[in-house]
Chains A and B, each alone.
Chain A
């Protein structure tokens, strides 16, 4: 038996986290087959075939796969599932939306958001927003697993030459119609993959003050994040939210400014390599996870921070 990896893509290219999911799949079983479902997604199929860890690519094309509607995708995977012991996908909104539909159709109890493969049937996954880690063992014959992409390294992207097989498309599900997608465009690195993230919280006091964060982000080529409190207060749009209900980020450097460190925020950033906290409340919980804490008024500290950064002439891009 082999592992079937569901590729995430945008019909032009693979989404970066597909590479992390391939790594996770290969740790379950080295026989990894990858399926790509879409409209005019040959380039994505080719890119998959070049991943050395992928042994076979299954390419499914139809116009109704253009917008990744789970109701259309799930039957395709269910039909392929006979040949596989595991179905694997990233636990981002694409995989979260799709995998349970597959698992229910296969009468399998899904294991969500794993952070480690212990054995082919045993996995480690965070529960309670990362406040506890559960080791779980699936007793189902066929296992549906979603993986937390930031917990696995991306696989090599070149050097492979897997065969690409076409598989037959399924019927269109007529009760769900895609209308539009509004992607947030930015010149900055994407929050989920940025090397540096600087986030503001309720301490920023208003949206205008986020300029202080923006200028430092420009200097460090950082993505801009925010706490749920800052988003709820309307200081910044919700696609910037880091936390259990926002994005989980694992940058090399995470700078939390005016963020107290609610459990739900910590769940989204505490795996970062280096954490800096700037907060005037020395008792704020954020300091308990910070490698470097600065107890200071952010309105004084941020301009100084920018000035110090300007003094350094070796900022990496």
Chain B
């Protein structure tokens, strides 16, 4: 069984994001970039399945600018066997990404496609479901547990009401929740080894997909700031303020 894992390069989750002064986006120059956190869970799960002898190959694919190669390389360092980079400059919407991934799926013929449930930059939460629709494959979104049962997967999903369990036939798409597993760190020897693993480079135009944006981003602004609050000196004062000033208790 072959597992394709899609990974996205995003601003590191520990970075305080700043809006550009001209309101065209957020500052990305000289900002630390990392793998989108739930994509790390997706890679980890695929590698664990391979280690358990239930998969033969894990392929990491990233779509974006040249530097996204670092993200693919990181996936190779934690256990993916080979990498694919689809180079696209400029804004990419989930619809375009899912169309590119569809082409990669047709080419590589994986049995499973894993990715994070959401990217922490645009917060769209769309790509997995869109890919699943384009391929007409079953989808298991927000997965916090995956069990492989012959040609099926049993997946526990994190939903608003609690947990849901579904069974889907392979081939299938799974989008991963942060609770799925604890991603490993790459060891130095594995980082060195990853440098020798192959990364195939493609251009979006080679795949015949029109990636031009369908959405104009008119402006990006700072969210409205909360007005500064006050410090209270005691619990008694706090309760009085909540009762008499804020009138919430």
Contact = CB atoms under 8 A, between A and B. Distances in A.
B219 interface: yes
Contacts of B214: 108-109, 138-140
A127 to B, nearest CB: 6
Given A104-B98, A276-B238, A308-B236, 14 more contacts: A71-B132, A93-B158, A97-B142, A103-B126, A108-B95, A110-B94, A111-B215, A136-B218, A179-B154, A179-B165, A220-B249, A253-B248, A287-B231, A292-B232
A139 B215 contact: yes
B132 A192 contact: no
Chain A interface extent, by class: 35 or more
B160 A110 contact: no
11 contacts: A93-B160, A97-B142, A108-B214, A109-B214, A122-B218, A139-B213, A175-B138, A182-B163, A220-B249, A264-B13, A274-B246
B172 A175 contact: yes
Interface string A174-212: 111111111110000000100010000000000000000
B162 A182 contact: yes
Contacts of B93: 109
Given A96-B125, A131-B17, A196-B248, A291 B229 contact: yes
B162 A290 contact: no
A238 interface: yes
Query: 7 closest pairs, A vs B, by CB?
Result: A100-B129, A109-B214, A104-B130, A104-B133, A100-B126, A291-B229, A304-B235
B179 interface: yes
B222 interface: yes
B139 A253 contact: no
Interface string B208-226: 0000011111111111001
Contacts of B169: 174-176
A183 B163 CA distance: 7
A74 interface: yes
Contacts of B179: 238
A81 interface: no
Given A93-B160, A113-B123, A295-B231, A138 B220 contact: no
Contacts of B94: 100, 109-110
Given A97-B141, A173-B138, A179-B167, A110 B126 contact: yes
A1 interface: no
Summarize B's interface: helix, strand, loop or mixed: mixed
B197 interface: no
A134 B213 CA distance: 15
Interface of B: 11, 13, 16-17, 19, 26, 93-95, 98, 120-134, 137-139, 141-142, 154, 157-169, 172, 177-179, 213-223, 226, 229-232, 234-236, 238-239, 241-243, 246, 248-249
Given A291-B246, A312-B239, A132 B223 contact: yes
Interface in A85-142: 91-94, 96-105, 107-113, 122, 125-140
A129 B120 contact: yes
B130 A181 contact: no
Nearest to A220: B249
Interface in A132-166: 132-140
A176 B130 contact: no
Contact of B249 (A282, A293, A301, A312): A312
Given A109-B93, A127-B220, A292-B241, A275 B125 contact: no
Given A104-B129, A292-B242, A293-B231, A135 B218 contact: yes
A270 interface: yes
Contacts of A111: 215
Interface of A: 69-71, 74, 91-94, 96-105, 107-113, 122, 125-140, 173-184, 192, 196, 220, 238-239, 244-245, 247, 252-253, 263-264, 270, 273-276, 282, 287-296, 301, 304-305, 308-309, 312, 315-316
Contacts of B129: 70, 96-101, 104
Contacts of B248: 196, 252-253, 273-274
A104 B95 contact: yes
Contacts of A71: 132, 138-139
A6 to B, nearest CB: 14
A229 B67 CA distance: 31
Given A101-B133, A175-B168, A312-B243, A126 B123 contact: yes
Contacts of B222: 132-133
A70 B239 CA distance: 47
Contacts of A301: 235
A238 B133 CA distance: 29
A98 B132 CA distance: 11
Given A126-B223, A182-B163, A132 B17 contact: yes
Contact of A132 (B19, B125, B127, B167): B19
Contact of B142 (A74, A93, A312): A93
Question: Which of A127, A140, A290, A309 has the most chain B CB atoms closer than 10 A to its own CB?
Answer: A127
A70 B139 contact: yes
Question: Which of A96, A178, A295 has the most chain B CB atoms closer than 10 A to its own CB?
Answer: A96
A317 B43 CA distance: 47
